[in-house]
Chain A
Amino acid sequence: MAATVAHSQQPLSPGGATSNGGGSSGGLHPLMAAAAANAAKQQQQQSQQRIDARNQEPFDLTSKKLCLADFQRVRTLGTGTFARVCLVRPSHGTEADRSKVYALKILRKTEVIKLKQIDHVRHERQILSDVSGHPFITSFQASFSDHEFLYIVLDYIPGGELFTYLRKYRRFDEDMAKFYAAEIVLVLEYLHEHQGGIAYRDMKPENLLLDADGHIKLVDFGFAKRLGNNQNDHPEETYTLCGTPEYLAPEVIHNKGHTTAVDWWALGILIYEFLTGYPPFWHSNPIEIYKQIVEKPVLFPQDPPISPEAKDIIRQFCTVDRSRRLGNISGGAARVKAHPFFRGVDWDAVMARKYKGPILPPVRYPGDAQCFDIYPEDDERREEYTDDMAERYDEYFKDF
């Protein structure tokens, strides 16, 4: 298998690579580099032989030797500060194997270290595999690493971000909002109450994908943290400020130590944004957002009219005093489910995904990516991951 790794060891060429979508650019990204290898004419024949050889090999996600060359990139689905998520398919194996698709999250070690996100990345890998299999959470398949990158293989969720639909439709009516909110309540109940107190910490429409049937999948566990809440575990509040400005809970802004209660606050913000099209606290300057969050009540616009039940549940979630915040008070998620906003919701049917979602994404086949926005395929030139860094930091990434 070692020979095939040569693809990703192509020297990265400096300067602006242009993506032509055809897979033969002077790309800087490892997946691009792999494609570039094929383009070089004198290597083509050799490559072809190598690929033919690989095609014979079974594709095995559980293999300890899983590596980048086991995948072919289709295209980028999203980018972040130190990560990129690509739609990929197996590069070898049986025809059935090669027709599968996955989302591959690629994290650059140097950026992870520079941005002091090592702990977050480790938690993400661990928690994703712990919570895998929940109907409303994206499923973890495998992880691996190479010299410069960490990789997480996830199920591909083809419907795109709920964010995109919300902006397209500007706002959702209450039945739609209720449908999505109900699925999220079940996710939070699971994370908080059945998984040892996992705080998700980055709820927002950008992190909710729709599957082909229009159901929610929560993605990006980059800030998720297990706080512990059973009899033996000493429960711990946590102190690292993280999240998205508009969705941060007041206790996070004030560095008071925060708990799973931050997710209920964020759900209040989310329902508000579903119903109005924008969050309750916003400003072009984040400091002004934070001031509003800690000092101002949630106010509702005249238009669109919002039902008293919806206003009430939003206000109860967005309560500064955690001893009064719905979801955090006695009864936990059960109390949330009993709120009048969810009147008529059959929670078993929700969990069983009995009804299709109010938005059916235009997915034409399993690997269809048309619901995702287009992103540049090439990375800017970044700092190299040196041997010194590898020596110092690789032990932190050994779980990948």
Chain B
Amino acid sequence: MSTGFTSPFGGNSNPFVRMETAGMQRVAEEDENDMITSPTTPSFGRTPASHNNGGGLFRSPFGADGASDTHMTGVGRPHLDPAGYPAQYNFGRRTSVSAESLKPPTGETYDNWTPPVHPKTAEQLQRLKEAMSGNFLFSHLDDEQTAQVLGALVEKPIPSKDIKVITQGDTGDFFYVVEKGSFDIYVSPTGKVEPGLDGAGRKVSTIGAGGSFGELALMYNAPRAATVISAEPNCTLWALDRMTFRRILMESTFARRRMYEGFLEEVPLLSSLTPYERSKIADALKSEKFPTGHTIIREGDPGDSFYLLVDGEAVALRNGDETPVKHYKKGDFFGELALLNDAPRAASVVSTTEVKVVSLGKSAFQRLLGPVESIMRRTKYVGVKTGVEEMDPLQIA
């Protein structure tokens, strides 16, 4: 054990010179030319990324409408070289990324944060909506989140030409949408702006009204991959910072999940679920909106989903009778027997206002937690009073 540090082989030069291959199974054939240098050398990689129709110029925070969509698509799937390897893939070590730690409000630290609201005209809102609609960072947001994000965008006048809005290599905290005017994008091959006249590098594109740039800054702090300079006087941008964006998403998601979990806790059929299981179910709930008078479930139909009423009101109707047999309000649930059996719906449920419901299919429930029956059978062990076992005639004796 003490051979350690006086080894005559102390070189540590090439880790594979004496590679022991006795235990090695078949590996892919090797091409001498492919095994390049050490993966840590900066130039590691088979082909300079810049041969990749412009994509390589953008190793990082840039994207969206202005730059990426027009110049950088089409290389998403590997173009395989004859040895079955994607020619442009960078085979170096990949760096981890991390945003600022983002913690949901708790009892102790609840600080009643509300997102900033910067008023906008209806036309401005419409333009912003259009500008952001195709963007994958916004397209999955619900109406409330979208409204908050739109409200939080802040106007940033760029009065004259040649103002640097973002500088390649700098840290990035903001995403921008162009309201008015146009901006030129420059990329320097060294990854940062160099001194001198042409220090910003080559002009690669121009972004006009409705375009956007800097979206990676909404995910985490990464060096900007390009320099953006106003191309004319009197431009206007809308800006959104990462912390505001992420916090809007987190707060609403967090509040919604806690609300769902709270609702689920009130469902007797699910009373034996652990908080962990409820959390998983909350994860799988699907949100839907219906107008007034919509039949959410129909008497006689086979039941496959269970519903929670998140907003609005509804009634249960039977046998074509117009007098409701039951009223539902926020937090109430219906159709839960569908989780248990395939019996037809015993009543119709019709919305009496606009409603927001979340639903859970029997199949999703079973995928996550297994059969409902076995969940409910736990009841007697946990000692919950409302379980089905209590009502099981075999248990009463």
Contact = CB atoms under 8 A, between A and B. Distances in A.
Interface of A: 74-75, 80-81, 89, 95-96, 99, 101, 115-120, 160, 163-164, 167-173, 175-176, 197, 202, 204, 206, 214, 222-223, 228-231, 233-237, 239-246, 253-257, 259, 276-278, 281-288, 290-292, 294-296, 299, 301, 303-304, 321-324, 328-331, 356-362, 364-375
Pick the 5 closest A-B CB pairs, nearest first: A287-B63, A323-B284, A99-B2, A242-B98, A169-B27
Interface string B61-89: 11110001000110111101001111011
A230 B277 CA distance: 10
Contacts of B84: 276-277, 301, 303-304
Interface string B330-374: 000000000000000000000000000000000010111110000
A259 B226 CA distance: 34
B89 A285 contact: no
B367 A330 contact: yes
Nearest to A163: B93
Contacts of B275: 231, 233-235
B60 interface: yes
A330 B93 contact: no
B1 A99 contact: yes
B49 A284 contact: yes
A233 B246 CA distance: 26
A296 B78 CA distance: 13
Given A167-B91, A173-B27, A364-B7, A244 B56 contact: no
B91 A330 contact: no
A329 B89 contact: no
A206 B40 CA distance: 12
A99 B24 contact: no
Contacts of B366: 330
Given A74-B5, A255-B250, A169 B140 contact: no
Nearest to B31: A170
Residue with the highest number of chain B CB atoms closer than 10 Å, among A170, A231, A322, A372: A170
A323 B80 contact: no
A285 B72 CA distance: 8
B4 interface: yes
A288 B68 contact: yes
Interface in B2-37: 2-5, 7, 9, 11-20, 22-28, 30, 34-35
B253 A256 contact: yes
B276 interface: yes
Given A164-B39, A259-B283, A362-B15, A239 B250 contact: yes
Contact of A368 (B7, B26, B60, B88): B7
B55 A284 contact: yes
B5 A287 contact: no
Given A244-B97, A287-B68, A329-B368, A358 B25 contact: yes
B85 A285 contact: no
20 contacts: A170-B30, A171-B28, A173-B26, A173-B28, A176-B27, A235-B275, A239-B254, A241-B97, A241-B98, A241-B246, A278-B89, A285-B60, A286-B59, A286-B216, A287-B62, A301-B84, A323-B280, A330-B367, A367-B5, A370-B18
Contact of B94 (A101, A204, A322): A204
Main secondary structure on A side of the interface with B: loop
Given A322-B283, A359-B24, 13 more contacts: A170-B85, A173-B26, A214-B23, A223-B96, A237-B254, A244-B96, A255-B250, A277-B28, A282-B78, A284-B59, A285-B225, A290-B136, A366-B3
A119 B98 CA distance: 12
Interface stretch (B99-107, B193-201, B289-297, B383-391): B99-107
Given A237-B257, A284-B88, A301 B80 contact: yes
B109 interface: no
Interface string B271-313: 0001110011001100000000000000000000000000000
B98 A120 contact: yes
A367 B4 CA distance: 5
A187 B7 CA distance: 35
A296 B22 contact: no
B124 interface: no
A241 B28 contact: no
Contacts of B26: 173
Nearest to A174: B25
Given A241-B99, A285-B60, A362 B19 contact: yes
Contacts of A120: 98, 101
B325 to A, nearest CB: 32
B27 A323 contact: no
B146 interface: no
Contacts of B220: 241
Contacts of B284: 321-323
A167 to B, nearest CB: 5
A115 B59 CA distance: 20
Contacts of A80: 95-96
A285 B35 contact: no
Contacts of B276: 197, 228-230, 233, 235
A360 B18 CA distance: 11
Contact of B96 (A101, A175, A242): A242
A284 B68 CA distance: 11
Contacts of A229: 276
B249 interface: yes
B100 A240 contact: yes
B274 A285 contact: no
A360 B298 CA distance: 64
B89 A164 contact: no
Contacts of B246: 239, 241, 255
B4 A284 contact: no
Contacts of B99: 240-242
B228 interface: no
Contacts of A89: 4-5
A223 B98 contact: yes
Given A229-B276, A237-B257, A257-B253, A245 B97 contact: yes
A370 B20 CA distance: 13
B38 interface: yes
Contact of B254 (A115, A257, A322, A373): A257
Nearest to B12: A370
Contacts of B97: 241-245, 286
A372 B15 contact: yes
B28 A290 contact: no
Given A323-B364, A330-B370, A366 B39 contact: no
A354 to B, nearest CB: 14
Contact of B20 (A235, A362, A375): A362
B59 A244 contact: no
A288 B15 contact: no
Contact of A285 (B1, B58, B98): B58
A243 B334 CA distance: 40
B93 A358 contact: no
Given A197-B276, A291-B136, A366-B1, A202 B96 contact: yes
Nearest to A324: B367
A101 to B, nearest CB: 7
B42 to A, nearest CB: 12
B324 to A, nearest CB: 33
Contacts of A364: 7, 9, 18
